[in-house]
Chains A and B, each alone.
Chain A
């Protein structure tokens, strides 16, 4: 990373001083602000994405305190009210505050997507490295598994799995994890591992008597990490899209839990013409969230993958 602060201060001859100089706090703060500013100038879209992601995570964590109303309690006295000062996004057909449901929906989307991506990134990295490094039968197995999963269009696979298991948060996590962990993500890591393995420094390490474990942890893993990170970031957006699609088809988390996709399905659909705010706000929330993850992912790719620098 360019522009990082040196740990040791240097004198005017460029020689390192033995003692690290303590910087006064305001100056240090100013410097990291300047670094942030530089990042924002070089990666404006990515910084915007990061900002939205941070905002989203804060919303997700503090959702119950941010939401002005109970997101699941029906209120017959306030059905389908249009957006106003007391209900920013209006109310739905059961009198529930749409703003509160969108805020609480952030919690579900963020929770599910981070869980799915964390599990599938771990599995796909391990599988991909093992298959790519050892090849032979682990590789054969992974490839056949990939072929099995790729025989389903993604959405149809999700439909089948979620219908076969009972719809619940756990089911959704399983259904969304499987194809990424065993097919999509691990294939990318496998390819990268194979090409890294052919480098001379791996040969040199082996000549010096390094064990497989040492080579994997010290040489292969750090080299595939950028791929894992970029894959995970765009994966977050993809998971939220898939989750909302399932919700829209009525196969998401069972009601009355607030779910962006689910709030656009079922009974609500009959009221869209009379109460368009029901259709607009959850959709905007999904779009903005996925957009933020995609922008962040693109920027990370630029920063982490030197081959693609400046082409995207």
Chain B
């Protein structure tokens, strides 16, 4: 187990290097010149050359990469081309927004997904089961960002209601904060809880067919005890793993949902930086996301062995 974790973790570094190199080089082949964006179309060739030298863009790309990576490893994430401020500080400013969305989403995903999945499995083929299943297919099919648009649009038309503009921190005003964060979180959770619900249902039905459940029933255990103590314990293994996988998807989902609800989180930072060709920001954010995702993936794989003693890794 320990050897497996170490071996898997040792793969992370080449993967992260590959991601950072791919993003770094690819960005420099992007159409749209940063100097044109910064100086406007009327800049003289001399001004352009000066700015390129200033930003270090006149050097060969591999040299630029090594310099950048060296700085990042020493904790200097660089400055934004467009705003000129420190990327690290900006990330710290915006992280609470994205983290709150993701935390709320994860909470709703787990609660809704698992509860509905269990209910659906226990009352299999009842009208309730069908209702939950049909709802979950809708959750998978309707684009979250469009649901977000409708959530903003319909109350605005019907009751002239709109959530507060501008970020309200949690500690300042809980109610205003939730008015701001519940809609995006619930929107994101709709799709991921549908994934989780379907999985919970399938796995639980599978577990309930196993011999040891029949044994438990034959022993005369109560239904509640069988479900909670025997069936759920095993059924939760793949569910928790998929929950980890959903986190990765949600990371991308945050980009679009922050765009819909005009929340200045990391996702929106990524999106605008790509549009503005703000290389230092995109590089750092891509690497940062990759680190989080790769670690999440590793935790997911390890969790298999952790939750299920039958799984053995060599």
| Interface membership of B141, Cβ < 8 A | yes
A276 touches B256 (CB 8 A): no
Across the interface, B11 reaches (CB within 8 A) one of A147, A152, A237, A241, namely: A147
Interface size class of chain A, counting residues whose CB lies under 8 Å from the partner chain: 35 or more
Cα separation A237 to B30 with both chains bound (whole Å): 29
Cα separation A248 to B109 with both chains bound (whole Å): 24
| Interface membership of A192, Cβ < 8 A | no
Kindly supply a per-residue 1/0 record for chain A positions 102-134, scoring 1 wherever the CB is within 8 Å of any chain B CB and 0 otherwise.
Answer: 000000000000000000000000000000000
| Interface membership of A32, Cβ < 8 A | no
Q: How many residues of B contact A (CB 8 A)?
A: 53
Cα separation A159 to B255 with both chains bound (whole Å): 10
Across the interface, B157 reaches (CB within 8 A) one of A264, A276, A294, A295, namely: A276
| Interface membership of B237, Cβ < 8 A | no
A152 touches B19 (CB 8 A): yes
* Chain B contacts with A in 194-214, Cβ cutoff 8 A: 198, 201-202, 205-206
Cα separation A276 to B155 with both chains bound (whole Å): 12
- A residues near B (Cβ < 8 Å) are 45, 144, 147-148, 150-157, 159-160, 163-164, 166, 237, 241, 244-245, 248-249, 264, 272-273, 276, 279-280, 283, 286-287, 290-291, 294-295, 298, 308, 311-312
B143 touches A287 (CB 8 A): yes
Shortest distance in angstroms between B281's beta carbon and chain A's nearest beta carbon? 13
CB-CB < 8 A to B15: which residues of A? Answer: 144, 147-148, 151
B146 touches A156 (CB 8 A): no
CB-CB < 8 A to A279: which residues of B? Answer: 146, 149-150, 153
Chain A binding surface, main DSSP class: helix
Residue of A nearest to B198 (CB): A312
| Interface membership of B31, Cβ < 8 A | yes
- CB pairs A–B below 8 angstroms (26 shown): A45-B137, A148-B19, A150-B248, A150-B293, A150-B294, A151-B16, A151-B294, A152-B252, A152-B289, A153-B248, A153-B250, A154-B252, A156-B270, A156-B286, A159-B270, A163-B274, A163-B275, A164-B29, A248-B145, A264-B149, A276-B153, A276-B154, A279-B146, A286-B143, A291-B138, A291-B141
CB-CB < 8 A to B6: which residues of A? Answer: none
Shortest distance in angstroms between A297's beta carbon and chain B's nearest beta carbon? 10
Across the interface, B202 reaches (CB within 8 A) one of A144, A294, A308, namely: A308
Kindly supply a per-residue 1/0 record for chain B positions 28-57, scoring 1 wherever the CB is within 8 Å of any chain A CB and 0 otherwise.
Answer: 011100000000000000000000000000
CB-CB < 8 A to B286: which residues of A? Answer: 152, 156, 160
A164 touches B26 (CB 8 A): yes
CB-CB < 8 A to B255: which residues of A? Answer: 155-156, 159, 249
Chain B binding surface, main DSSP class: helix
B153 touches A273 (CB 8 A): yes
Cα separation A236 to B74 with both chains bound (whole Å): 44
Closest 10 CB pairs of A and B: A153-B252, A155-B252, A291-B141, A283-B146, A290-B141, A153-B251, A287-B142, A151-B290, A164-B26, A311-B205
Cα separation A148 to B290 with both chains bound (whole Å): 9
Residue of B nearest to A143 (CB): B11
CB-CB < 8 A to B289: which residues of A? Answer: 152-153, 156
B143 touches A298 (CB 8 A): no
Shortest distance in angstroms between B111's beta carbon and chain A's nearest beta carbon? 22
CB-CB < 8 A to A245: which residues of B? Answer: 143, 145, 256
Kindly supply a per-residue 1/0 record for chain B positions 109-120, scoring 1 wherever the CB is within 8 Å of any chain A CB and 0 otherwise.
Answer: 000000000000
A287 touches B141 (CB 8 A): yes
Residue of A nearest to B145 (CB): A248
Residue of A nearest to B282 (CB): A160
Which of B16, B137, B259, B297: most chain A CB closer than 10 A? B137
If A163-B275, A298-B137 touch, whether A151 touches B30 (CB-CB below 8 Å) is no
Shortest distance in angstroms between A187's beta carbon and chain B's nearest beta carbon? 12
CB-CB < 8 A to B140: which residues of A? Answer: 237, 290, 294
B271 touches A249 (CB 8 A): yes
Residue of A nearest to B22 (CB): A148
CB-CB < 8 A to B95: which residues of A? Answer: none
Cα separation A150 to B290 with both chains bound (whole Å): 9
CB-CB < 8 A to B290: which residues of A? Answer: 151-152
Shortest distance in angstroms between B250's beta carbon and chain A's nearest beta carbon? 8
Cα separation A159 to B282 with both chains bound (whole Å): 11
| Interface membership of B182, Cβ < 8 A | no
Across the interface, A160 reaches (CB within 8 A) one of B26, B134, B150, namely: B26
* Chain B contacts with A in 123-175, Cβ cutoff 8 A: 134, 137-138, 140-143, 145-146, 149-150, 153-154, 156-157
Kindly supply a per-residue 1/0 record for chain B positions 276-314, scoring 1 wherever the CB is within 8 Å of any chain A CB and 0 otherwise.
Answer: 000000100010011001100100000000000000000
